[in-house]
A = this chain, B = another copy of it.
Amino acid sequence: MLGAQKWKEGGVVARTRGITIRDVARKAGVSITAVSHALNGKGTLSEATREHIRTVADQMGYEADALARGLRRSTMGAVGLVLRSLDALGDYAPAGVDVFERFVGAAASQALARNLSLMLVPDLTRKPVPPLAFSLDGYIVTNPHVDDPVIALLEDRSIPYVAYGRPPGRPEFTHWVSEDDTASARQILGHLWAGGARDTVLVRGTDPNAWNLEHQEVYVSWCSERGVTPRLYELAEGAGVDGGVDLAGRIADDGVPDAVFCLTGRHAAGVQRGLMARGVRVPEDTMVVAGSDSEHARNSRPAISALELNPVESSAALLDVLQDLIAGRTPTSPRLTKARFRARASTRR
């Protein structure tokens, strides 16, 4: 391997340095400027030189060092992903929760398609700060909550960022992408209504993010439009299925409802199980719906109707907006993506 060398430095095995721009310049018989310009499509070079340099570089397998380039250009080709919901949960691998992990997967492959690297960065405000955190070109922040310190930090440093789920209490901020929660919530509530439900319970999480807040808002308006009394329960996201089972007891004690709309799949699975354990029949006595699909919802018996989020389209939109922001262009945002409601046995009457 040309130009490769290995060495030790203070006990740290340094990586093999690859081929440098200098190696290419020497081989191609030009200056390093020429190489830089040729490869970045800048400056004024004859097409012949350009082509020649490109060929040589290709042959040698030259890849520009991202660090050196970043140091100079202050743009890295890498963006960070902060999952605020998981930060809040304090658990980056909660059992049976696949929405976030699916989002990570989708975001990674969408980033790939744009030749961007995606870096998972844990809560930026906690010390010690991950070293690369402030060198990244921008951030995707999922489900920021009210007065989110991560967002405050990014703004303070003027690092571009986009939010998945609008940052609550920031009407002036537009760089967000979300599934159309309002439309989906109304679709679900309408579906339940059509199934005969007149007494529908909403179970939301405790995190003060747009997901929880907007759903609550829509639910309350929807109830008041129809003159029915809202029945709202809050259950910590971290409580999971077991929390749902417990909550089912409370709900039933308050009066068995016609339908329960849980914002998370785990809560829905737990509530359904808890209700059934008390002899409530699903869907005959009570219908159950989850606001976000998951294996829990799919594989409960009866299978729970749920909203299938759209991580692929959403992460694509987020990256588009973020790239515009990074490039100094004005992005078209906010953007709403379309989730898809999956009616299953739990609401089939």
- By a beta-carbon cutoff of 8 Å, the part of chain A in contact with chain B is 1, 4, 6, 8-9, 11-18, 63-71, 73-78, 86, 91-96, 98, 100-102, 104-106, 108-109, 111-112, 115-122, 128-135, 137, 156-160, 294-296, 298-301, 311-312, 325-328
Q: How far is the CA of A4 from the CA of B159 in the complex (A)?
A: 12
| Docked-complex contact A128 and B109, CB < 8 angstroms | no
Given A12-B75, A111-B120, A118-B120, 19 other A-B contacts at CB below 8 A? A4-B158, A9-B73, A12-B73, A15-B157, A63-B134, A64-B131, A65-B135, A67-B132, A76-B132, A91-B109, A93-B312, A96-B98, A96-B298, A98-B101, A100-B105, A101-B101, A109-B122, A116-B130, A117-B120
A9: which B residues are within 8 A, CB to CB? 73-74
A129: which B residues are within 8 A, CB to CB? 63
Q: How far is the CA of A320 from the CA of B70 in the complex (A)?
A: 29
A74: which B residues are within 8 A, CB to CB? 9, 12, 14-15, 17
Given the known A-B contacts A74-B15, A119-B118, A130-B116, are A67 and B135 also in contact in the complex, defined by CB atoms under 8 Å? yes
Q: How far is the CA of A91 from the CA of B109 in the complex (A)?
A: 7
Q: How far is the CA of A226 from the CA of B122 in the complex (A)?
A: 50
28 contacts between A and B (CB under 8 A): A13-B325, A14-B73, A14-B74, A15-B137, A15-B159, A16-B157, A18-B157, A67-B70, A67-B76, A69-B131, A92-B108, A92-B109, A92-B112, A93-B108, A95-B102, A98-B98, A98-B295, A101-B104, A108-B120, A111-B122, A115-B130, A116-B130, A117-B131, A119-B120, A294-B295, A295-B296, A299-B299, A301-B301
A104: which B residues are within 8 A, CB to CB? 93, 101, 104-105, 120
Given the known A-B contacts A135-B67, A295-B98, A299-B300, are A93 and B78 also in contact in the complex, defined by CB atoms under 8 Å? no
Q: How far is the CA of A60 from the CA of B137 in the complex (A)?
A: 23
Which residue in chain B gives the minimum CB-CB distance to A113?
A: B122
Q: How far is the CA of A135 from the CA of B296 in the complex (A)?
A: 39
Pairs A-B, 8 closest by C-beta atoms: A299-B299, A295-B295, A93-B105, A101-B101, A77-B131, A92-B109, A66-B131, A112-B122
A69: which B residues are within 8 A, CB to CB? 131
Which residue in chain B gives the minimum CB-CB distance to A122?
A: B112
Given the known A-B contacts A93-B109, A105-B101, A109-B122, are A75 and B157 also in contact in the complex, defined by CB atoms under 8 Å? no
In the assembled complex, the CB of A306 is this many whole angstroms from the nearest CB of chain B, namely 13
In the assembled complex, the CB of A132 is this many whole angstroms from the nearest CB of chain B, namely 5
